Amino acid sequence: MNVRSPLIAPRDRATAVLLVLVALTFVALLVTVPSISDIFSVRGAAACAAVLAFIKARFVAMDFMELRGTTAQRFADTWLLVVGLISLVLILR
């Protein structure tokens, strides 16, 4: 029986997600560097860092905690969205 493999093997996906997480970490660090943060207000830089943190949290939850495709995925997505929005409201108020 010839079974086709998925487009991206799980190991390759984990490597790709890890590289995205590292890139997002560098972007978050760049936002907080004084010369770049002069472009944003303090609240704007904090909001950008928070958004990046919640994006990274979703990648970790879905790919490294293996919630992708499970019944817990919807709960995790909802929780991250609600907590992320509350955090943004508190940062930007």
Sequence spans of domains, the chain = 11-92
Q: Radius of gyration of the chain from Cα atoms?
A: 17
Q: Which two tokens stand for residue 35?
A: 């010369």
pLDDT of residue 8: 67
Question: 25 versus 1: which is more confidently predicted?
Answer: 25
pLDDT of residue 12: 87
CA distance 45 to 43: 5
Portion of the chain with pLDDT greater than 90, in percent: 62
- Backbone φ and ψ for 7, nearest 5 degrees, come out as -60, -40
Tell me the pTM. 0.81
Beta carbons within 10 angstroms of residue 58's beta carbon: 18
